[in-house]
Amino acid sequence: MRPVLSCDEVRRLEDVIEKEGTSKAELMEFAGEFVASEALKGNPSRVVILVGFGNNGGDGWVAADILAQKDVHVDVVSPVEPDEISAPLARHVARRTAGRDVNIVVGPSKDELGELIGEADLVIDAILGTGFHGELRPPFSIWIPVVNELEPTVLSVDVPSGLDAQTGVVEHDCIRATRTATMLAPKLGLYSADGPEYAGEIVCGRLYDQLDEVIDDVEHEAEIVDSADLIDFFEPLPMNINKYSRGSVLVVAGSATYPGAAMMAAKAAARAGAGYVAVACPSACANLVRMALPSVPVIDIPSDSRGAFGAAARKAVCKAAEKFSCVLCGPGITTAAGCIDVVSGLLKMDVPLVLDADALNCLAKYSIGGIDKTPELYRRDAPLILTPHHKELSRLIGDDPVADLGTAIEASRRLLWAAGSEDMIVVAKGPSTAVAGVEKVLLPMAGPASLATAGSGDVLAGIIAGSVAQAHNYAGPWELLCAYAVTVHSFTGFAAASRFGEKSVIATDLIDLIGDAMELAAESALHDLGVLDEGSQVEEA
């Protein structure tokens, strides 16, 4: 797993490194060397380096010097003369580079800038880094659209300029990078909100030899999960099993209005590997589910007048749930009174429980001002996995806004710390999904935007429940198991997009591709571990 840091954590890390004897000035030299080495990978003969007023620009000035020494023609485009640069470290390296064989262009017109970029093989964007905040000001608000319009190959330094390194939000405009060379550790904003759209491929410069020894001296906002970290989940099925010992899931879902949600979640749980999956749904939709899923037993639960769980549902659901290795509750249930009752009954049981969709909205209705105010309502000894998207997460914390990865992680932590249980996980879904536990927050590989389709979350909930059900002897952490499920879901998105076309994927497509997705994830893990060469098949390993 690879750490992802907040801007504050990066600053603290730089302080730790400085205490260990490597100054910030030296770090800037290493950052510039890293940028130059990344730039040289494309063998450019002409490079334009756009620099700003701060230390991000400093990295660019150092890279300019190195590239010029390698016989690359370098044009540095600066808003001011080197002597007028405000950040002292950056001013120092700018003055030094000014005395070398580089062409410095101060305050060019739009046309001049366009011409320079048109002649270059590569543009290095060292305008703004972690120090950027507020509204983009001139001249950068003028430079950035000129760059983007010409669509050159762009290497951004640390973060694409214009992107908030913490939130990933682009308020006004942002450099569209081909690649981003980030320093010490990726910043959270590269994975949040608009980050993935603008950052391109992300490469990380370690800069400091003993980075592994000091990086744990600061907290990590999150950790990226690579397929290789999930290798233990790709074991083949043992011979000596039966359908129950493989793991069983009770899917408590559906209503007269939303029978499909129950069908999709149940089928996904089975495709994810559970040996026995049953559905407990309101009697109003039971026959529909029976007809759609011949392999799945359906337990009739008393309905209310609208076809949702009724007053007698809690007892019937909890009795049925006793026999299962995992219960998934929520897809399509509505928030009728009987549903709220069912959710509260299941929370009191000691079976591993996944709460999704309307089960989360039922939970939010329990309390005023956020469920973290009354953690006794959801604190339990058995595993509890909540799978909210941003709106559901916001409801759970009393309607405080959840808009991006950073705020989703913060909201998840509020829920987790209030409960204080190692067996509770929040899978905060979004374009990038965070899997948060009390100890750590994981970022599994995100899927394609094709996953933004109705019912896709029901499929993920099924994959999570199916995976939990199989984890009889699993020693944890639950974060990793949920990260595995999210990764498989992401791969279903890629597999479906390549089969049906990016815009044509619908949630039911994802379900039948769960097996393919597991194979793709396993291949990717073996590839990361160096067991598979590019293009070879799993069977050859």
Ligand X SMILES: NC(=O)C1=CN([C@@H]2O[C@H](COP(=O)(O)OP(=O)(O)OC[C@H]3O[C@@H](n4cnc5c(N)ncnc54)[C@H](O)[C@@H]3O)[C@@H](O)[C@H]2O)[C@@H](O)CC1
Ligand Y SMILES: Nc1ncnc2c1ncn2[C@@H]1O[C@H](COP(=O)(O)OP(=O)(O)O)[C@@H](O)[C@H]1O
Query: In whole angstroms, how close is the CB of 176 to K ion at the nearest point?
Result: 12
Write the burial class of residue 118 (CB in 10 Å: 0-12 exposed, 13-18 middle, 19+ buried).
exposed
Q: Does residue 429 belong to the site contacting ligand Y (CB under 6 A)?
A: yes
The answer for 236, left when phi > 0, alpha when psi is -120 to 50, beta otherwise, is beta
Complete DSSP assignment for 261-292: HHHHHHHHHHHTT-SEEEEEEEHHHHHHHHHH
Tally of CB atoms within 10 A around 79: 20
Stretch that binds ligand Y, among 225-233, 443-451, 477-485, 524-532 (CB under 6 A): 443-451
The token pair at 422 is 């190692």
Query: In whole angstroms, how close is the CB of 254 to ligand X at the nearest point?
Result: 50
Of residues 68, 144, 157, 204, which one binds K ion by CB under 5 A? 157
Of residues 39, 113, 120, 136, which one binds ligand X by CB under 6 A? 136
Of residues 96, 133, 243, 499, which one binds ligand X by CB under 6 A? 133
Per-position x/- string for 479-518, each x denoting binding to ligand Y as judged by CB under 6 A, each - no binding: ----------x-----------------------------
Query: In whole angstroms, how close is the CB of 37 to ligand Y at the nearest point?
Result: 32
Cα gap 242→245, rounded to integer Å: 5
Cα gap 445→521, rounded to integer Å: 10
Which among 124, 194, 120 has a CA at the least distance from the CA of 156? 124
**Residue 156 interacts with which of ligand Y, K ion, ligand X, none, CB < 5 to 8 Å by class:** K ion
* Angle value at C-alpha 426, between 266 and 256, nearest 5 degrees: 35
Q: Does residue 169 belong to the site contacting ligand Y (CB under 6 A)?
A: no
Per-position x/- string for 101-130, each x denoting binding to K ion as judged by CB under 5 A, each - no binding: ------------------------x-----
Assign 136 to helix, strand or coil.
coil
Q: Does residue 67 belong to the site contacting ligand X (CB under 6 A)?
A: no
**Residue 161 interacts with which of K ion, ligand X, ligand Y, none, CB < 5 to 8 Å by class:** K ion
Sign of the dihedral defined by the CA atoms of residues 272, 277, 283, 286, in that order: positive
Of residues 38, 91, 116, 132, which one binds ligand X by CB under 6 A? 132
Length of the chain: 541
Query: In whole angstroms, how close is the CB of 23 to K ion at the nearest point?
Result: 22
Query: In whole angstroms, how close is the CB of 455 to ligand Y at the nearest point?
Result: 5
Q: Does residue 451 belong to the site contacting ligand Y (CB under 6 A)?
A: yes
Q: Does residue 86 belong to the site contacting ligand X (CB under 6 A)?
A: yes
Cα gap 69→460, rounded to integer Å: 52
In this structure, are strands 326-329 and 353-356 parallel, antiparallel, or unpaired? parallel
The token pair at 393 is 């997460």
Cα gap 127→139, rounded to integer Å: 10
Cα gap 381→519, rounded to integer Å: 34
Q: Does residue 140 belong to the site contacting ligand X (CB under 6 A)?
A: yes
Stretch that binds ligand X, among 122-130, 217-225, 466-474, 508-516 (CB under 6 A): 122-130
Write the burial class of residue 382 (CB in 10 Å: 0-12 exposed, 13-18 middle, 19+ buried).
middle
Cα gap 451→510, rounded to integer Å: 9
Q: Which residues are annotated as a binding site for AMP?
A: 429-433, 457
**Residue 458 interacts with which of ligand Y, K ion, ligand X, none, CB < 5 to 8 Å by class:** ligand Y
Stretch 228-257 residues interacting with ligand Y (CB under 6 A) = none
Of residues 9, 44, 53, 355, which one binds ligand X by CB under 6 A? 53
The token pair at 474 is 């699993």
Residue type, 497: A
Of residues 446, 497, 510, 513, which one binds ligand Y by CB under 6 A? 446
- Please identify, using beta-carbon distances, which residue of 54 and 330 lies nearer to ligand X: 54
Stretch that binds K ion, among 154-162, 297-305, 410-418, 439-447 (CB under 5 A): 154-162
- Please identify, using beta-carbon distances, which residue of 120 and 353 lies nearer to K ion: 120
In this structure, are strands 384-387 and 424-428 parallel, antiparallel, or unpaired? parallel
Of residues 460, 482, 485, 505, which one binds ligand Y by CB under 6 A? 460
**Quick check: 500 and 512 in contact, CB under 8 A?**
no
User: Residues with Cβ < 8 Å from 480, sequence gap 6 or more?
Assistant: 225, 229, 230, 442
How many residues of this chain interact with ligand X, rule: CB under 6 A?
Answer: 29
Assign 43 to helix, strand or coil.
coil
Per-position x/- string for 158-197, each x denoting binding to ligand X as judged by CB under 6 A, each - no binding: x------------------------x--------------
**Quick check: 148 and 176 in contact, CB under 8 A?**
yes
Of residues 161, 335, 394, 433, which one binds ligand Y by CB under 6 A? 433
Host H or E run for residue 90: helix 88-98
Q: Which residues are annotated as a binding site for K(+)?
A: 56, 125, 161
Query: In whole angstroms, how close is the CB of 61 to ligand X at the nearest point?
Result: 10
Stretch that binds ligand Y, among 25-33, 131-139, 318-326, 455-463 (CB under 6 A): 455-463
- Please identify, using beta-carbon distances, which residue of 456 and 470 lies nearer to ligand Y: 456
Q: Tell me what percent of the chain is helix, strand and coil, each rounded to the nearest 5.
A: 45, 15, 40
The token pair at 287 is 């026959």
Q: Does residue 180 belong to the site contacting K ion (CB under 5 A)?
A: no
User: Residues with Cβ < 8 Å from 109, sequence gap 6 or more?
Assistant: none
Q: Does residue 430 belong to the site contacting ligand Y (CB under 6 A)?
A: yes
Query: In whole angstroms, how close is the CB of 220 to ligand X at the nearest point?
Result: 18
Site of interaction with ligand Y (CB under 6 A)? 357, 389, 429-431, 433, 446-449, 451-452, 454-458, 460, 489
Provide the binding-site residues for K ion, judged by CB under 5 A: 125, 156-157, 161
Can you give the binding site for ligand X, defined by CB under 6 A?
14, 24, 27-28, 31, 52-59, 86-87, 128-137, 140, 157-158, 183
